[in-house]
Structure 1
């Protein structure tokens, strides 16, 4: 019985101290979802965008704030809030997002030199638009990933 109480208290502690989204973030997220995503507005042509690719399921465009010489957003037209909300029904569109990224990287001349694909999910990753999207970044040597340490041959 003591173990059950301990693990229940431990779970409550972690859920309230950093293993969940902050109350402010949860509120902002709920408000943004209720309002509708800026990406849906681009898809519906309610907002302008520099669209570089579009098919029945996916749209890709240049973001307002570039983080690299080549920076594109690849967005499913289906509104999926986060990768955590993706279902088995979304497998094909998720795979096609990768193939669109490959195609655009080749078109932009960065397929051979290298590029990064990034999907931010929720608070700790800095997700601010709640419509799943993938960043295609390249055109220069990109920095190390967060927390990556230099690897050496020394042992």
Structure 2
């Protein structure tokens, strides 16, 4: 579906269309003005985004976060991306959601938890750090 929007074959309320990506209104917004940003290439996850495209794509996301806040007179924005789990459309996309104080949205959309202690937190940090080192 998103490839069709990028190609202009599927109707969408476009906000921007440029080489680094396409942005359009979400048809089922969290709040009105909720924008989806997609790269022009069909990519499924953030890991698929080529390194050389990072600056352009996330520069576009950043510009849209500012534009949503300014243009809609929002108090701020919520910027989010799902990869695989909870990814309703298998095409890399970033949500830019306008926020206002008292809008009812509470942090993330899922329950929060705590680490049992500092040792458990350190263990998780170590595992992520080791995975980063393997990919370097």
Q: Where is the helix percentage greater, Structure 1 or Structure 2?
A: 1
State yes or no: 1:136 paired with 2:100. no
Equivalent position of 1:109 in the other structure: 73
Q: TM-score, normalised by structure 2?
A: 0.69
Q: Distance in 1 between matches of 2:28 and 2:37?
A: 15
Instruction: List aligned pairs for 1:1-155, cutoff 5 A.
Output: 38-105=1-68, 106-110=70-74, 113-123=75-85, 126-140=86-100, 141=103, 142-145=105-108, 146-148=110-112
| Aligned residue pair count | 108
Q: Distance in 2 between matches of 1:78 and 1:129?
A: 14
In structure 2, runs of 5+ residues without a counterpart are: 114-136
User: Quick check: 2:21–2:57 contact (8 Å CA) kept in 1?
Assistant: no
Distance 1:91 1:139, change over 3 A: closer
Let me know the Cα RMSD of the aligned residues. Answer: 1.9
Q: Distance in 1 between matches of 2:16 and 2:72?
A: 12
User: Quick check: 1:57–1:78 contact (8 Å CA) kept in 2?
Assistant: no
Q: Distance in 2 between matches of 1:45 and 1:91?
A: 23
Larger radius of gyration: 1
User: Quick check: 1:58–1:97 contact (8 Å CA) kept in 2?
Assistant: yes
